[in-house]
Structure 1
Amino acid sequence: MRNKARVAVYTGSFDPVTLGHLNVIERASKLFDELVVGIGLNSEKQALFTSDEKVELLEAVVAPFNNVRVATFTGLAVSFVRQCGSCVMVRGVRPLTDIAGEFTMLMANRQLDSDIETVFLMADEHYSHVSSSLIKQIALLSDDDKLAKFVPHPVIAPLRAKMQGSRLKTNEP
């Protein structure tokens, strides 16, 4: 009998994808036969990037990993995990800042589907402070070399273009 592939799913908004996200993706890709990076779509949130742009950026940064694919989803993350043929959800956590929220999400997910296990990967110390909110602030104030300490290179130009566009919109009369 052939062993079933171990598939895991890493969900998030990835708006934008950061080096912290990429660190979790790289490490999770080594633990599982296949990793699905699921971009959750929430129409109630004001996203910087469209879902198509997020897919394009994520596909560019995960290209080196032959066992990683990118997909979008709406609805519950546990339902998406099942649709991917998995029972493992990967979550990246930063020291202390994410623990309470992630624990609450874990308990809710167990109520929704008790067969799905959550695997937490602590962010590498270099990325434990990186968040998408912080990136948006840094992008306005730093040069490309500094920004490259927080986001993958393929994200820099699109992020700058988005931030310039949003800056123009907020300065319009």
Structure 2
Amino acid sequence: MKIALFPGSFDPITIAHVDILNRSLPLFDKIVIGIGLNSAKQNFLSSDQREEMVKTIFADNAKVEVQLYEGLTVDFCRKINAKYMVRGIRSASDFEYERAIAQINQTMMPEVETILLLSKPEYSAISSTIVRDILRNNGNVSPFVPKEALTFL
């Protein structure tokens, strides 16, 4: 079984995340959306809110599973038996960042391949950071998040 991990903080999940995941689904038997917990990071949404939001969005897709995890992403890959990681990239700076992480992960766990998918041009400006800023300033985020996420925001 081909299992991939789609890791991230998903604070909150955006339509760009959903697009990357949906485009990667035909490549794998199962994709685990791994919501990384980082105690050093101040999150906008709690881990439970993020988990419930992502589960709600993908409730009708049997190939998608949602799990919280702490620690190294490669260790989580071992735990769930994932041989692939899916990541989205929007820009050259995203590529450089993701390339460095993929190379480090490859050194720590050579059997895991990172698959980088380019975001669609219309989603390249969307990031969770920008969505959080809009939310903090009471702006309308509906163009940037899945409709199912709005009840959590």
Q: Could you say whether these structures have the same fold, taking a TM-score greater than 0.5 normalized by the shorter chain as the test? A: yes
**What is the Cα-based RMSD across aligned positions, in Å?**
1.3
Larger RCO: 1 or 2 (CA < 8 Å, sep 6+) = 2
Q: Is the Cα–Cα contact under 8 Å of residues 19 and 152 in structure 1 kept in the other structure? A: yes
Q: Does 1:148 align with 2:145?
A: no
Alignment partner, residue 163 of structure 1? none
* Stretches (4+) displaced over 6 A: none
Q: How much identity, in percent, do the aligned residues show?
A: 34
Question: Is the contact between residue 106 and residue 118 of structure 1 (CA under 8 Å) also seen in structure 2?
Answer: yes
Segments of structure 1 that go 5 or more residues without pairing to the other structure are: 160-173
Unaligned runs of 5+ in 2: none
Please state how far the C-alpha of 1:89 moved relative to its aligned partner: 0.8
Q: What number of residue pairs does the alignment pair up? A: 152
SS at the partner of 1:156? helix
CA distance in 1, matches of 2:108, 2:40: 22
Q: What TM-score do the two structures reach when normalised by structure 2?
A: 0.93
Residue 22 in 1 paired to residue 18 in 2?
Answer: yes
Match 1:121 to one of 117, 124, 127: 117
Is 2:135 the counterpart of 1:157? no
1:170: which partner in 2?
none
Q: Deviations over 1:34-63 (max 9, x none)?
A: 000000100010011111111100001112
In structure 2, distance between residues paired with 1:141 and 1:51: 21
State the one-letter code of the partner of 2:142.
A
Residue 95 of structure 1 and its aligned partner are, at CA, apart by: 2.3
Instruction: State the structure with more CA Rg.
Output: 1
